[in-house]
Amino acid sequence: MSAIYSTFALGAGAHSITVTYSGDSNFNASSSSLIIVTVIPVGIANLNPTSVNFASQPVGVSSMAIPVTLSNIGDANLAVNGIQIGGDNIGDFSMSSNACGSSLVPGASCLVNVKFTPTATGTRTASLIFTDSDNGIAGSKQPISWWDRRCR
Tell me the domains of the chain and their CATH numbers: 1-40 (no CATH), 45-151 (2.60.40.10)
Question: What is the pLDDT, as a whole number, of residue 145?
Answer: 86
Q: Kindly report, residue by residue over 23-66, the tens digit of the pLDDT.
A: 788 888 888 787 887 878 889 999 999 988 888 889 999 999 99
* Contacts for 134 with CB less than 8 Å, ≥ 6 apart: 42, 43, 44, 45, 78, 140, 142
Rounded Cα distance between 148 and 121, Å, is: 10
Rounded Cα distance between 121 and 125, Å, is: 12
pTM attached to this predicted model: 0.76
Rounded Cα distance between 89 and 115, Å, is: 13
